[in-house]
Structure 1
Amino acid sequence: MDRTAVDTEGAWFDPEHMAALRRQLPIAYVDIVPVRTDVDGQVSQVGLLLRASGAGRIVRSIVSGRILVHETIREAISRHVEKDLGPMALPRIPVSPVPFTVAEYFPTPGLSPFHDPRQHAISLAYIVPVDGETAPQEDALDLGWFDVSELTEDGVLAELEGGHDVIVRRALAHAGVC
């Protein structure tokens, strides 16, 4: 297939059509846990964004977003890292697009640990080491890098909503640091 003939810039729907689709279909997403690693490759810090939630609260979140039509998973990861952490973030995208977990978000609370009031979404979750300079972008108010011990001891994970705390806990367990 010749991907150069496909318009990926406008490969999404207008807001009204998207809202209708969200009510009828699961939407494909990527959830990304940005990390800093030490010289041995062990996760030492996790990057969390600070954002205003749809309910008007200030919450922490991971990098997350839709996969576009004709976009590979690797391209989606790269695009969302750049969109949220900046063009100089320098992510080390996984060689294999195998996620460490899959999260199924439901609009109805309680069906799973993951909740998104807008939609039913299936999200592939990745741990992505970031080597470059990062800064909050788009709608993010701040970006904090937290030592693993801070996350587990200081209640930072309680500031995440919608199940993102579960994603971070699973990421740390997968990386063998928790």
Structure 2
Amino acid sequence: MTETADYPHAAQPDGWLSESALAAARGHLPVLYVDAVPVRVDESGDVVAVGLLLRVNGAGAITRALVSGRVLYHERVRDALLRHLEKDLGPMALPRVPASPQPFTVAEYFPTPGVTPYHDPRQHAVSLAYVVPVSGDCQPQQDALELAWLTPEEACSEAVQVEMTGGHGYLLRQAMAHVGRLA
């Protein structure tokens, strides 16, 4: 799961917690996130490409990742999806998020490995996961080094799956199964 930069207390936008307040909250309750699998679709709506971010994780390893981030206090889930897609893919990505988005799954990340396929050593987080078609020009933003568009088969290959951590590879395979691109 990725984060956006924390702001100094005086400059925090509404809905942001200070670093210490966030650490305290993470120690006592699950935090709500969204995960988005950006896709390109053909004229019939079939998924033809999956966008994967290349990032450096907290341990300094280069990994592949999905678009992911927290839902802020008093923020609609749809707005959080749009904010994180713009943050990671740029303002010209043109995501097509429906007015009332429905997740394809709910991923529960635990700080203890092995409880579920999803792991986040910082916290217990619950993430609503979506497949989101994007039709615009996508450019990696923030801490993303690269955005690669792969076929669903390439994205689900063992070579790419081993580059994904925290359960994002498993989540990607679920997404592709959901859209009929993985048996």
* TM-score, reference length from structure 1: 0.93
Aligned runs of 1:29-44 on 2, under 5 Å? Answer: 29-44=33-48
**Number of residues of Structure 1 aligned to a counterpart in Structure 2:** 171
Q: Find the counterpart in structure 1 of residue 178 from structure 2.
A: 174
Partner amino acid, structure 2, of 1:128 = V
Q: Find the counterpart in structure 2 of residue 3 from structure 1.
A: none
Partner amino acid, structure 2, of 1:177 = R
Bigger mean CA offset, 122-131 vs 155-164: 155-164
**Shift of the alpha carbon at 1:154?**
5.8
**Shift of the alpha carbon at 1:95?**
3.5
Q: Find the counterpart in structure 1 of residue 134 from structure 2.
A: 130
Q: Find the counterpart in structure 2 of residue 144 from structure 1.
A: 148
Aligned runs of 1:25-104 on 2, under 5 Å? Answer: 25-104=29-108
Aligned runs of 1:108-123 on 2, under 5 Å? Answer: 108-123=112-127
Determine the C-alpha separation between the residues in 1 that align with 2:55 and 2:151.
Answer: 20
Long gaps (5+) in structure 1: 1-7
**Shift of the alpha carbon at 1:9?**
3.0
Long gaps (5+) in structure 2: 1-11
Determine the C-alpha separation between the residues in 2 that align with 1:9 and 1:17.
Answer: 14
Q: Find the counterpart in structure 2 of residue 12 from structure 1.
A: 16
3-state SS in 1 of match to 2:132: strand
Residues 39, 132 of structure 2: 8 Å contact kept:
yes
**Shift of the alpha carbon at 1:150?**
1.4
**Shift of the alpha carbon at 1:158?**
1.7
Q: Find the counterpart in structure 2 of residue 4 from structure 1.
A: none
Determine the C-alpha separation between the residues in 1 that align with 2:53 and 2:177.
Answer: 21
Aligned runs of 1:155-170 on 2, under 5 Å? Answer: 155-170=159-174
Determine the C-alpha separation between the residues in 1 that align with 2:16 and 2:158.
Answer: 40
Bigger mean CA offset, 94-103 vs 63-72: 94-103
Alignment deviations for residues 124-174 of structure 1 (CA, whole Å, 9 cap, x no partner) = 000000000000000111110101121234621221100001110000000
Determine the C-alpha separation between the residues in 1 that align with 2:178 and 2:130.
Answer: 10
Partner amino acid, structure 1, of 2:18 = D
3-state SS in 1 of match to 2:54: strand
Partner amino acid, structure 1, of 2:116 = S
